[in-house]
Structure 1
Amino acid sequence: MTVDLERRALRGAPSPAPGVAREKNIAMQPLLDQPADEASVVSEDSHDSAQAGVKALEAISSTWSKTGLYVAYLGIALIAFATSLEAQTTSNLTIFATSAFSSHSLVATVGVVQGVVLSVAKPPMSKIADVFGRFEAFSLSVLIYTIGYIQQAASDSVKTYAAAQIFYSAGATGLQILIQIFIADTSDLLNRAFCATLPDVPFLVNVWIGPQLAESILQTTSWRWGYGIWVIILPLAFMPLGLALFTSQRRAAQHGMLPKSQFEGLTKWEAATMLWYELDAFGLILLCAAFSLILIPLTLASQSGWRSANLIAMLAVGATCLLIFPFWERSKTLAPRAFFPRALIKNRTVVAGLGIAFFYFMAFYLSIYPYFQSYLLVVQGETVSSAGRIVQTFTFTATISSILISLGIKRTKYYKRFVMLGTLVYLGGLGLMVRYRAEGSSTLTIIGSQMVVGLGGGMLHGPAQLGVQASASHQDVAAATAIFLTVLEIGGAVGNAISGAIWTQNIPTKLAQYLPPETQDQAAAIYGNVTLAANGWPMGSPTRHAINRAYQETMTKILTVAVIVAAPCVILSCFMKNYKLDEMDQHVKGVVVGGIQEVADRRDGESSAGPSRRSSCSTDDDASPGSRRSSESSSMFREFRRKGS
């Protein structure tokens, strides 16, 4: 029989079960009574309404020990390190792979395929994790990822290589979203921002190791082994996390804590029908179709313009699917297990957080990628290696900033102030870019403005995601995380398309206008070849002056648009609710990072998400026997702990 459990924060931690050390800073103080309009979202959040994968994770986290949790996080660290190093390595192999098939010009097409899959694969993978379980979803992602490696290493044409990007990107984005969901499952709100930054830490090292590893692979073997080695490395890196989840799942099953199979006793048709509703299959189809049919035209049009009627038709159909999606999700009949829960749509913190994600990453793709490196090579005369390091300054600074901010959140117990300050710093940094990303500026001033933008990005990204997660019940936290990261990717794609449109509309025109008569006929060649633009003529020559002027004026336009689109982030941050995180129901159960979340039977009518509505002045003396320290209602959990967790 399924045990109905809930998370409570108590006045003082209960005596720890045998074998479990008392945590020093467990947030178990009584929760303050707050008005209903300040509560975070509760959407079909009773344990009985939670989907099977969520119930299984709650049972698992209630059974494992602190050692098991540490092993799981070791697995997360290994996966993060392996995938980070792989990305930094294989990104340097794409041009060699496509060149091997005499198709170097299709590098951009490969990027389009990756970008679309990275955006559309997050929602289905998060839904699979909710329906089937975290272990099953992780295993599926690793399998798909590995298939992508094998396809890339064995590809015999550019078509098979491009097709491999579908599996590769689906596996990559699946692991990305699942890691964030797992962190949300296994950390309390005070520690979640810090835990969410851990997968980014390997970048601080791998950004320097990856290119060197790629060079060594090319010198000693071939580009194929640059993909093939990860067929071995990634499954090995997944083993600690996989074993921790699998063994804890078996232990929970042995104690009868796992939910029964939802397909038990059903016919094939009934099982298929249930799966259709559990996965919200048509809703996911609408969402994926909308993203694909919007992203592909936006990306391709930034390169070739809007001359193709097919691109316009795709954009129209995609926009139609996107408009239909919320109406489908709002129907309890058509989408009883909606991917985007109805209550989340109405929550102002969620909507504001999604808006921040969209505009933040749109501005990122207008200021950092995709043309900043070209600008450095041409206007500033930087070498390829130095230009690459300057571009990476943003991510390097943002990673360090996010770690420090997460510690600030843990200390202050609030997140909104960091989002608001981060948006101001981010906007200010973009303004500095407009001022100092100019011909004649020193490298230090360019790097300095880059660091300010990175500081702001690190301050606002993680806390904004935390605010969205805090507004969701445990059943909905996977969907909230997936939507946040998906909207982030959509914003990046839109920013990429806008920057591409500005670039293609301005550079050719300005080159034709500024080039001296002797090089007027080379305008098209200069536009299409950054190496020719950077190295074809010496600094100070009339042609080079014309090229630099065209690049500089276009870059200033792009940065101006970046400042404009980043401005709404400041306004949106004001609409996020200022949750006090240690007074929030944690949405998690069992042993988690930050302490042991007490587990108790949910009473009818009580919510499992948001600030508690219990009086903060209640005491053990005036509490009813059923509520006193939740000891009776959590007896089954403690009994299990005594029997050998």
Structure 2
Amino acid sequence: MSDSCIVRMKLAIFSRVMGERAVAPTVLSPDEMNCETTASSGKAEKELVPTEEGEPSSDEEAPSETAAEGIKKVEAIAIVWSRSELYAAYACVFLVYFVNSLQQQIISNLLPYVMSDFASHSLIPVTGIVSQILGGVLKLPIAQLINIWGRPQGLIVMTTLCTIGLILMAVCNNVQTYAAAQCFYWVGYNGIGFVLDVFIADTSNLRNRALAFAFASTPYIVTTWAGPKAAESFYAHSGWRWAFGCFSILTPIVILPLLYILFSNQRKAARLGFIQKRESGRTVKESLWYYFIEFDVVGILLISAGFALFLLPFALAGSQTDKWAAASTIIMLVLGVALLAAFGLYEKYLAPRSFIPFHLVTDRTVLGSCGLSAVSFASFYLWDNYYLSYLQVVHQLSITTAGYVFNIFSIGCSFWAVVVAAAIHYTGRIKPLALYFGAPLNLLGVGLMIHFRQPSHSIGYVVMCQIFIAFAGGILVICEQMAAMAAVKHADVAAILAVLGLSAAVGGAIGSSMAGAIWTNTLPDALTAALPEAEKARAGEIYGSLKEQLAFKWGSEARMGIVQAYGIAQRRMTIASTSVIVLMFIKVMFFNRPALVARYLAVAAALFTSTSAKTAAEWRESSIYQLLTDRFATTEGSAPDCSIRSYCGGTWKGIENKLDYIQGMGFDAIWISPVIHNIEDNTQYGNAFHGYWGDDPFTLNPHFGTGDDLKSLSDALHGRGMSLMIDVVINHLAANQPSTSVDYSVFPAPFNSASAFHTPCAIDYTNQGSIENCWLVTDTPSLPDIDSENGDVYTAMVNSVADIVKTYGVDGIRLDTARHVPKEFLTQFQEAVGVFVTGEVLDGNPDFVAGYQGPLSSTLNYPLWYPLVDSFMGGDFSALATTMGTVGSVFTDVNALANFLDNHDQPRFASREGNDVVRDRNAATFLMFTSGIPVVYYGFEHRFGGASDPDNREALWGSGYNVDAELYKHIALLHQIRDLASGIGEKAAYFSTSAEVIGTSTQYMAIKRGAVVVVVSNVGAQGATDGFNVSGSQFDSGDQIVDLFSCTTATVGDGGAFDSTANNGEARIWIRSRDKGSFCP
């Protein structure tokens, strides 16, 4: 099915003539809370420290790996390409759509004349049925192909098939060759559109996808005017064959720039290590069998042949001498039904791998979307197949003028689709648009055609009906696509678009067959009855050729008889089309709005996210300074006394006034406390100064400042080239009552009733279902757990965050208590907010935590944090090295993980027994150069030593913001060295390269990354007498290297080996002397 009008509508608009498209709660106080167990964290059970938010903490406490190769490739491409390359790719996609739409405009307007040259005008729908079925059925194997091989590889195959089809159509001499060429052409043409659809889905988040799809259809607004005139020019001067010939040359040429961009970035991703070539180990014979199974060739043949043989008789029977009694008709019908039955049995009981993703199509929303697609196309092709001929025969329109009228649908659909996409984006509503506007408007337009598509009515009434139908199409196509895609994850987008394409193809083929059946069983008899006696003998010849029909002068008895016959056939086709439309209402009712559409189109926050928002690839290059807004700086710069459990006066304006202090250490991003309104009560655990006891997601916390203050802070950061990350909680709200007596009415709608929350229960941390559905705290203050399956509630919560992101220019989000929210909702949240999100998944098991990178951009690297703290506090480095290897293998993007030494939930690093400033410096050095994004908690630079919440939430003004503090200067130096190291070679290469452990001992660890080797120690201020022998470095034998801390030099031996001499327990960062820059003169 072709992908016109909304790119997907594939609307027949162009080749529609050919049929192408288509229990009582347990009360638990924070101090009694049980926490993540030994099994989940992988650590021995230790003393548990509750946090203000209720999330338990311990005093010591991851392109997906399973994705197909093609999906991994496109995800890798999305990581490495620049914004300019993305924009260029979209420009190329637009150009391809433009040329393809112009191609369709010209070819569809010429089709009646092509068929008439072969005396086969009545077979217009027949030639398209088989190709339409193949084009739709093969989309599923094409989806499999591009998932396995890759998007650009699939685009090459489809372009080749399309070009072959165009060449064959240009040189064909009979209708049989033309029909065969159609199969090549439509498989290739629809395949090109399908791959581009998937590309758009790959490169757009769900919130903006409707707009992206609608934008891709806009070329049709222009080409619908140029196409008919060009078609008339081809027909009048060079002939219809040259139209096919020209596009057989032009089509591959316009696709080449897009292929260049995709392949060049694929090679770049491979060079940077994001794509790794894997040998299958199969022989040629084994590979052929593998792909035979993977693409379910038997299933494809059965369903394609079954539908073709079943549907063709409907269009052909009328032209047979014995009509439905003809042996060929009966045989095709019987074989068709038998093959379809065989397909069902084969797929259920015998197929090693089914090409239809049954696990997807059983979803009620997907079923509704596919059903709506099939019904829409069946109805469309019922009235559209002979529309161009009708306009020229009945209303005396030229090819150009008929083409303009014919294309009203395309223009209106493409234009209105943009409006509908914006409406979906803003309102978050799909089902109401389809149910109350799309389907009724379509019914009105087609229903009116029963009366107005008759010779007795002027063309103006026909145009009116077309406008109604066009606007309905703009609504229905976008709604069916967005609803279906919202129901699946990224890996299934190609498959779900293919299923939609198959549904449209089958629906279109059914519509074409019914139209053909009506036409062939109506027009011949009507012509024979209406023609004058002198022409009755030529009824068959007239029936088979549009040119013969137009040859009769207007007003002649023969011409008016032909017009009368057309009116009879058109009325019957529009009646049948109107009857089918009734099914649309039933299909739209399948859309599961509460569980899907409202959740997803929480998406509807705003037209665009922050223009300064950074991609995950850009966040890898950042370093983040985490602070608590209330404890960092006051507006006027005062240093008031601070009660540890009360508001102390820190504000957003205070942060803005101290940005020099933060930037002086080298940080280019800050992470601030949650910004929403919190409960005002002074609870048994103090005030909500930390920001995690939110009670109104739609209002800012007045203790921190005004909306203008927050926007001013964001603007000030962006003016310095820095980024703003905010902490967000979507798992729960807070109430200063126990779970048994929460007054829900104080919350804003739709959170103002118990139905917005899960039933209170205490969490069993050995049960993930309990973690997701029970309350973090049931004592006072309790934390009512939001029911994410309540569509309106979830939509409101996500919209509130997305609105803050847009309004205040937020660049990233730290998502609190992420493991307490089901992953499917995290996926929707990530796509809705449209910015980088790192989630808190408090667990030490790398495999478990890695499951959250995918739904979210990133996670806090708790699996690394546990052994990291142990190792630098005197433990063996081997555990840390092992964890680094595991984390690197199970996470999809280890360099996007957020690494830390401490935070507001965990004891400060300086509070650890036996710690000293030398260990601080070593740990900070490791943090800055290991894989991932370094996050430093405010006060680390002054060795704040709060052991646990709330003591680890001191006011920073007590330090006097001393920029001469040892660790302040050390952090600044580390940033300078990091900039030096990342500037050698490609910057993106450094930040996409993982740190590699090249040696450990009880006292030392050596890692290499980019141009540096970092050697860290855990002996602390007591120093060490022995150095560490490093081997396996990236340095060459004979290289002169230098330690950027002490300026000590060394010479590299064989195998990249050298001695990293003892340095009083301090870390060393080794680099080739020629690369040291201004360090160590």
- Give the counterpart of 2:199 among 182, 187, 190: 182
Aligned to 1:643: 990
Tell me the amino acid that sits aligned with residue 452 of structure 2. Y
**Matched residue type, 1:395:** S
User: Pairwise CA RMSD of aligned residues?
Assistant: 4.0
2:303 pairs with 1:287 = yes
Q: Is the 8 A contact 1:85 1:210 kept in 2?
A: yes
Q: Distance in 2 between matches of 1:303 and 1:267?
A: 51
Q: Flag the 1:456–1:321 CA change in 2: closer, same or farther, 3 A.
A: same
TM-score scaled by length of structure 2: 0.49
**Residues of 2 paired with 1:296 and 1:571: CA distance?**
28
Within the alignment, does 1:495 sit opposite 2:511 as a pair?
yes
In structure 2, the CA distance between the partners of 1:131 and 1:505, relative to structure 1 (3 Å rule), is same
The reply on whether 1:562 has 2:580 as its aligned counterpart is no
Please state how far the C-alpha of 1:497 moved relative to its aligned partner. Answer: 1.6
- Match 1:386 to one of 381, 384, 401: 401
Distance 1:194-1:282 versus aligned 2 partners, 3 A rule: same
Give deviations 1:271-303, integer Å, cap 9, x for gaps: 444333433333333333334333444443465
Cα separation, partners in 2 of 1:550 and 1:284, compared to 1, 3 Å: closer
Contact 2:438 2:472 in 1 (8 A): yes
CA distance in 2, matches of 1:272, 1:455: 47
Q: Does 1:122 align with 2:103?
A: no
1:461 aligned residue: 477
Residue 113 of structure 1: CA displacement?
Answer: 5.6
Q: Deviations over 1:301-324 (max 9, x none)?
A: 465444543343333333333334
- Confirm or deny: 8 A CA contact 2:376 2:507 kept in the other structure: yes
Alignment equivalent of 1:346, drawn from 358, 362, 374: 362
Match of 1:191 in 2: 208
- Cα distance per residue 1:223-242 (max 9 Å; x no partner): 55533433443233223321
Structure 2 residue 356 is matched with structure 1 residue 356: no
**CA pair 284-535 structure 1, distance change in 2 beyond 3 A:** closer
Q: Which residue matches 1:572? A: 587
Counting only pairs closer than 5 Å after superposition, residues 621-632 of structure 1 correspond to structure 2 as 624=842, 630-632=859-861
Query: 1:14 — aligned with what?
Result: none
- In 2, distance between residues paired with 1:532 and 1:174? 36
**Counterpart in the other structure of 1:71:** 88
| Paired residue type of 2:505 | E
C-alpha contact (below 8 Å) 2:841/2:859 kept by paired residues: no
Give how far 1:62 is off: 2.5
Candidates 393, 401, 412, aligned match of 2:416: 401
**Quick one: distance in 1 between partners of 2:564 and 2:213?**
42
Structure 2 Cα separation of the partners of residues 514 and 292 of structure 1: 34
- Between the aligned partners of 1:403 and 1:139, the Cα distance in structure 2 is 29
SS in 2 for 1:265: coil
**Aligned equivalents of 1:404, 1:272: Cα separation in 2:** 47
Distance 1:376 1:448 in 2: 14
Structure 1 residue 169: deviation in Å? 2.5
Structure 1 511/360 Cα, relative in aligned 2: closer, same or farther at 3 Å? Answer: same
Q: Which amino acid aligns with 1:274?
A: Y
Shift of 1:244: 2.1
Unaligned runs of 5+ in 1: 1-45
Partner letter of residue 205 of structure 1? Answer: V
Name the residue aligned to 2:888. Answer: none
Point out the more displaced range, 514-523 or 345-354: 514-523
Residue 90 of structure 1 and its aligned partner are, at CA, apart by 4.0
Aligned to 1:321: 339
Q: In the TM superposition, what whole-angstrom CA distance separates every residue of 1:455-503 from its partner, at most 9, and x where no partner exists?
A: 1111101210221122222222212111211221221121122122222
Structure 1: how far apart are the matches of 2:529 and 2:285?
Answer: 67
Q: Which residue does 2:568 correspond to in 1?
A: 553
**Alignment of structure 1 residues 242-391 onto 2, 5 Å:** 242-258=259-275, 260-261=277-278, 263-301=279-317, 303-304=319-320, 305-330=323-348, 334-336=351-353, 338-367=354-383, 369-391=384-406
Question: 1:229 is paired with a residue of what secondary structure?
Answer: helix
In the TM superposition, residue 198 of structure 1 has moved relative to its aligned partner by 3.2
| Partner SS, residue 366 of structure 2 | helix
Quick one: which of 140, 158, 163 aligns to 1:141?
A: 158
Q: How far is the alpha carbon of 1:117 from its aligned partner?
A: 3.9
Could you tell me which amino acid in structure 2 is paired with residue 320 of structure 1? A
Q: Which has the larger radius of gyration?
A: 2
Structure ranking higher in strand proportion: 2
Contact 2:151 2:199 in 1 (8 A): yes
> Aligned pair 1:507/2:523, yes or no?
yes
Q: Which amino acid aligns with 2:427?
A: T
Q: CA deviation at 1:96?
A: 7.4
TM-score normalized by the length of structure 1: 0.79
Q: 1:257 Cα shift? A: 2.1
Shift of 1:115: 3.4
> Which whole-Å CA distance do the structure 2 matches of 1:297 and 1:176 have between them?
29
> Aligned pair in 2 of structure 1 residues 299, 455: CA closer, same or farther (>3 Å)?
same
Separation in structure 1 between the aligned mates of residue 388 and residue 838 of structure 2, nearest angstrom: 63
> Relative to 1, partners in 2 of residues 1:529 and 1:245: Cα closer, same or farther, differing over 3 Å?
closer
Deviation at 1:531, TM superposition (A): 5.1
Deviation of the 1:391 alpha carbon: 2.1
Residues 635 and 93 of structure 1: CA distance in aligned 2, closer, same or farther (over 3 Å)? same
Contact 1:377 1:387 in 2 (8 A): yes
In structure 2, the residue matched to 1:38 is none
Segment drifting more, 528-537 vs 369-378: 528-537
- In structure 2, distance between residues paired with 1:561 and 1:456: 18
* Aligned-residue offset at 1:398: 1.2
How much has 1:517 moved relative to structure 2?
A: 6.0
1:503 is paired with a residue whose SS is: helix
Give 2:46's aligned residue.
none
Are 1:235 and 2:252 an aligned pair?
yes
- CA distance in structure 2 between the partners assigned to 1:561 and 1:197 by the alignment: 30
Aligned-residue offset at 1:129: 0.8
Q: Which amino acid aligns with 2:990?
A: K
Q: Partners of 2:251 and 2:327 in 1: how far apart?
A: 42
Question: Residue 206 of structure 1 aligns with which residue?
Answer: 223
Range with greater deviation from structure 2 (371-380 or 202-211) = 371-380
2:464 matched to which residue of 1?
A: 448
Alpha-carbon distance between aligned partners in 2 of 1:525 and 1:86, rounded to the nearest angstrom: 30
Q: Give 1:448 shift.
A: 0.8
Inter-partner Cα distance in structure 2 for 1:207 and 1:437 = 22
Tell me, what secondary structure is at the counterpart of 1:288? helix
**AA at the equivalent of 1:637:** A
Counterpart residue type for residue 139 of structure 2: K
3-state SS of the aligned residue for 2:81?
A: coil
Deviates more, 1:109-118 or 1:76-85: 109-118
Name the amino acid aligned to 1:300. Answer: L
Distance in structure 2 (CA, Å) of the matches to 1:193 and 1:163: 35
Percent identity over the alignment? 29
Deviation (angstroms), 1:357: 0.9
**Could you say which structure has the greater relative contact order, defined with CA pairs below 8 angstroms and 6 or more residues apart?**
1
Q: Specify the alignment match of 2:1003 in structure 1.
A: none
Would the aligned equivalents of 2:130 and 2:308 in 1 still touch at CA under 8 Å?
Answer: no
CA gap 1:536/1:297 in 2 versus in 1, 3 angstroms: same
Contact 1:402–1:459 at 8 Å: present in 2 too? yes
Aligned partners of 2:236, 2:829: CA distance in 1, in Å? 66
More off after superposition, 69-78 vs 530-539: 530-539
C-alpha distance in 2, partners of 1:554/1:485? 29
Specify the SS of the correspondent of 2:163: helix
Q: 1:133 to 1:328 in 2, by over 3 A?
A: farther
Of stretches 200-209 and 562-571 in structure 1, the one that deviates more from structure 2 is: 200-209
Please state how far the C-alpha of 1:512 moved relative to its aligned partner.
4.4
- SS of 2:80's partner is coil
* Aligned mates of 1:62, 1:571 — CA distance in 2: 42
Q: How does 1:37-48 map to 2 (within 5 A)?
A: 47-48=64-65
Relative to 1, partners in 2 of residues 1:610 and 1:465: Cα closer, same or farther, differing over 3 Å? farther
Say which is worse superposed, 452-461 or 301-310, in terms of deviation. 301-310
Secondary structure of 1:203's counterpart equals helix
Aligned residues: 585
